[in-house]
Chains A and B, each alone.
Chain A
Amino acid sequence: MKNQITHHLTPQLLMAYSAGTLPEAFDLIVASHLSLCDECRAEAESYDAVGGALIERETAEMACDSLEATLRRIREGADADTAPPAPLPAATADLPRPIRDYVGGDLADVRWQSMGRGVRQAILPVDGEATARLLHIPAGAEVPDHGHRGTELTLVLKGAFRDEDGRFGPGDVEVADEAVEHTPVAEEGEDCICLAVTDAPLRFSGLMPRLAQPFLKI
């Protein structure tokens, strides 16, 4: 899948992903973008290399029987995670692998909930305060106008949307912080499917959506 990706992750996000300090929902969207974007993947791997250079610098004393104990672990094949889930063939999948792992299948397996006006969402089971959800926006429709207290990242998986920051197509990721009041509108012609992660509950500007918010869990 070769898309022209023009909106990338920030260096700060890539570094934090490599350092392993992001909430799970943010790890998920970073891993998904990296699955689609060679450029950011290369940059993320260079941050891994920084980590590799950093761990060379300090040592701590090991227990005296440490090596023996480790060889025992190896002989016992102690590690249980030797059976990774069989991956779907990437060429035929709609969703990047990290998202498929959370959905438990591909796009056809997503269990959508209606949010009204044709917009649908599916909350993904991530731990921690930050939330992750898939959004399905009908072609030409807009997502309810909202601002938010924290940061929201939106990764386009199918179709495209436009908002105050430009056009976002497959693979593009929008990084919006609390200063942004944006109104994404899906392009005509194709429904838009995105992964959105938020590190604080959204607050909608209109009255009705705000009342609905606790029930929709966004």
Chain B
Amino acid sequence: MLSNVDWLDQYAAQPVPPPDAPVSVVRGAAAMGEVGLTRMTQTRGRATVEWVDHVVRIRDARDEAAFAELFAHFAPRVKAFLKRSGADDGLAEECAQEVMATLWMKAHLFDPARASVSTWVFTIARNRRIDALRRQRRPEPEDLPWGPEAEPQQDDMLALQQDSERLAEALRALPEKQRYLIERAYFGELSHGEIAEETGLPLGTIKSRIRLALDRLRHALK
């Protein structure tokens, strides 16, 4: 099935940010000491069900305090994502603000039984990037008729949010080399071929690492 992968190699439409782009690594495995770990655990505790609650407060009460906390956590992450995808500081700042404003205005569309807040923010930021940096439309799948439940079941919501934590856990547990390549595929907009050039790894090795990493992540979601 290698051939199915090969053709993807040519899609690296975006300019590559300079390697010294000022993006600080919060949880790089190499730099992750004891202190970092503690902080991480606390943030993680927040990163799922509690963030859902924040979005609900924005949706139901236009709660600016909840928004300020969401902003403090997510806006710097969205901005880092956009910078890594090739946006300069000014464009990344502007787009990050737009993404956060979208989050406020579309709070009623967030479904905690289908996505974590992190995932939702990622999809909004990704679409903004496609629009702003690549200037192309983003076709999205047709909404599914989800049956009679207007409000998602609490159990589904909790299960999904726990899955998201397990996934983040699995991502952290990946060998550094595998995680790095996944990050490049999502953020650097590098094709597999270009990653090979940049890292000096043979293409076959890279593909098998990405596939292995994805298998492990998929496993974590089961």
Q: Which residues of A contact B (CB under 8 A)?
A: 10-13, 15-16, 18-24, 27-28, 30-32, 34-35, 38, 41, 44-46, 48-63, 66-67, 69-71, 73-74, 77-79, 82, 87, 90, 96-98, 101-102, 126-128, 150-151, 175, 177-179, 199
Contact = CB atoms under 8 A, between A and B. Distances in A.
B33 interface: no
Interface of B: 1, 3-8, 10-13, 22-28, 43, 47, 64, 67-68, 71-72, 75-81, 83-84, 92-93, 96-98, 100-102, 104-105, 114-116, 118-123, 125-127, 129-130, 135-145, 163-164, 167-168, 171, 182-183, 185-187, 189, 211, 214, 217-218, 221
A59 B72 CA distance: 10
B102 A49 contact: no
Contacts, number: 223
A57 B116 contact: no
B23 A21 contact: no
B12 A56 contact: no
Given A19-B185, A59-B26, A45 B114 contact: yes
Given A54-B182, A67-B71, 11 more contacts: A13-B4, A20-B130, A46-B167, A46-B218, A49-B164, A52-B122, A57-B183, A62-B93, A74-B104, A78-B98, A87-B143
A77 to B, nearest CB: 8
A45 B4 contact: no
Contacts of A23: 11, 13, 136
Contacts of B142: 35, 87, 90, 96-98
B132 to A, nearest CB: 11
Contacts of B100: 70
A43 to B, nearest CB: 8
B167 A49 contact: yes
Nearest to A88: B142
A45 B123 CA distance: 10
B116 A49 contact: yes
B97 A55 contact: no
Q: Is the interface of A mostly helix, strand, loop or mixed?
A: helix
21 contacts: A13-B4, A15-B214, A19-B186, A20-B130, A23-B136, A27-B139, A31-B141, A32-B139, A35-B142, A46-B167, A48-B115, A48-B123, A50-B167, A55-B78, A59-B80, A60-B24, A98-B141, A98-B142, A101-B139, A150-B7, A199-B10
Contacts of A11: 211, 214
Given A27-B139, A70-B100, A98-B141, A59 B214 contact: no
A46 B141 contact: no
B127 A52 contact: no
A23 B13 CA distance: 8
Contacts of A74: 101, 104-105
B102 to A, nearest CB: 6
Those 6 A-B pairs whose CB atoms lie nearest each other, nearest first: A52-B119, A97-B142, A52-B118, A59-B76, A34-B141, A35-B142
Contacts of B28: 57
Given A52-B120, A53-B171, A70-B75, A82 B105 contact: yes
B69 to A, nearest CB: 10
B125 A55 contact: yes
Contacts of A35: 141-142
